[in-house]
Structure formats: structure tokens, C-alpha cells
A = this chain, B = another copy of it.
Amino acid sequence: MISSGPARAGVPSSRQGPIALLCAGGALPFAVAEAMRLAGRQALIVAIAGIADPGLDRLGAHWLALGQLGKLFALLRRENCAGVVLVGAMQRPTLRSMRIDAIGWSYLFDFLRNVRRSDDGMLRGMLRWFEDQGFPVLSAGEVAPELLAPEGRIGQLAAPSEALAAAAQGFACLDAISPFDVGQALVSFGERIVAIEGAEGTDGLIDRIAELRRLGRLPRSGRDGLLLKGTKIGQSLKVDLPTIGPRTIERAAKAGLAGVVVEAGRVLVIEGQAVVAAADAAGLFLFGLKRDRSQ
């Protein structure tokens, strides 16, 4: 059974219907929907027009524009949805791309205030809207735990012990920048951290390594370098969980990286079999590192 999630006090969900997947861009919505289907969990697919992949039509998606919150809440009530999952890549929207209905307008000010702040701020703000309407917001990891990175070696290759030491240091660095909400990934070469993810995202980060090697700012030859990805301290796990997929591995291989370490249990792996196959084929190690999050 799926945990009903920590609904806000006074608004526990008594609804027994499907979980609504509110889908933004990228491949993650497909992966979550597929994992739920395989596990026999009911899902209602709601896709954001202009942002979500048109292929979600195949899954019977309901399409709504960003800002049509009145329509969305009505749909969730009609389908008796037990909860909502926000899933997929959210570009910072422009006002022009939004179609705002009457209910939507009442949320607009709150939205704009949050969107200016940071990704975390924007997403946290959206969580509250659903919970205020009595729909608990769940994480993709709660409704599709099969996608969460396992602990330990994931592919065929073992991670060398120096890589795990570098990973520990790298995670400490990501922890240090957590309050500034910059990024969730970095790349280190040996003990040296050479690149921290910013607005370019993980793909851009990896491409930067390839470019630095081409320019000779990093060693040109030899498989070297570690991509690290995990959650920020205190980030909501309900939105924006870090994600890797087969293309991440292919990109990392092309950039000459030696391996990838992700935070076990808190990073989503899309198309896990393809990810492992890509890592094995390219000779990259892939490792899930459990972090102590007790503080």
C-alpha cells in the first residue's frame, strides 16, 4: 500500500481513487506511470500542455494548461484522487505560456513571488496549493519506489575506493551549497572538485567536462572523473528528486568520466535496465551511496 503522505493538519485525504500524476516535461512521467502500472497501482495522468511530452496521450492523459488550477482541482475531485505527484522537468514558465482560470488567478501572486526566488521556493509553494485543497502531495519515490537508486554497486563494475572517498567529499560540498539552492550534482577528478552544477543542469555539467578536456583544462585522455548526484539538505523529497537515465550515462561516457555515484534511495533512475546496460557497455562504474540524513 502507498503511504498517504503527510497531508496538512485538518485536511487528511479520505479519497480512495487513483493517484494523479501531474506531468511536466521529460521521460520521468513515463517511467513513473510504467512503474505504477507494473505494480498494479492506479494512476490518473494529467499533462501540462506545452511542457509535458505529447506522447503521454498514449497513456490517456488529461491535458491542462499551466494556470488552469480550477479545472485541475475539479478533475481531481471528480476522479476522487487520493493524492497528487508532481513529476517531470519544469522549466521556469513565462507568464505568456500560462492560461490562467478564475481559481488560478487567486494563486498567481503567490506563484510569482515564489518563482522569482528559486526552484525550491517555486515548488514548495505549489505543494501547499494541493494540500490546502485536501490532496496530499506524494513523492515519485513513494508511488514508484522501484525507480529509487539502490544501495551499493549497480552495474557490473565496482567503484574504486578512492572514488567513494571522493564521493564523500563531493557530497559534503553539495551539502555546503545546499542553503543556496544552486544544484544537485558535481564532477570531481581525484580529490579535486572541478565543476558544480548550476542553471545548466546535469547534461550541461557533463558537457562542460567534455569541453574542459578538449581545451586541455582537464586531462585530455584516459577515463577519469566522477559524476555525483544527490538531494540537497532539507529539500522537499516530493518534487524535483534528482534523476539519471540512460542518456546521462551515455553523456558521461562520452565526456570520458570513469563513473557515477548517486545518493541511494533519493535519486530516481529512469529506465534502470538501459542505465545499467549503458554503464556496463561503456565501462563506467555506477554506485548508490547511502547518506546519513539523521541530522
Contact = CB atoms under 8 A, between A and B. Distances in A.
A200 B218 CA distance: 9
Given A116-B190, A190-B116, A191-B117, A177 B196 contact: yes
Contacts of A204: 212, 217
Interface string A108-144: 0000000011100000000000000000000000000
Interface string A178-213: 011111000100111111101111001000100110
Contacts of A169: 180
Contacts of A193: 180-182, 198
Interface residues of A, number: 31
Contacts of A190: 116
A173 interface: yes
Number of copies of this chain that the complex holds = 2
Contact of A177 (B176, B187, B191): B176
B196 A198 contact: yes
Contacts of A218: 199
Contact of A201 (B176, B179, B181, B217): B217
Contacts of A200: 195, 208, 211-212, 217
A119 to B, nearest CB: 8
Contacts of A198: 187, 193-196, 208
Given A172-B180, A176-B180, 20 more contacts: A117-B191, A118-B191, A118-B192, A169-B180, A173-B182, A176-B177, A176-B179, A177-B177, A181-B192, A183-B196, A192-B199, A193-B198, A194-B198, A195-B198, A195-B200, A196-B196, A196-B198, A199-B212, A199-B218, A204-B212
Top 3 A-B residue pairs of the complex, sorted by shortest distance between their CB atoms: A194-B199, A195-B198, A176-B176
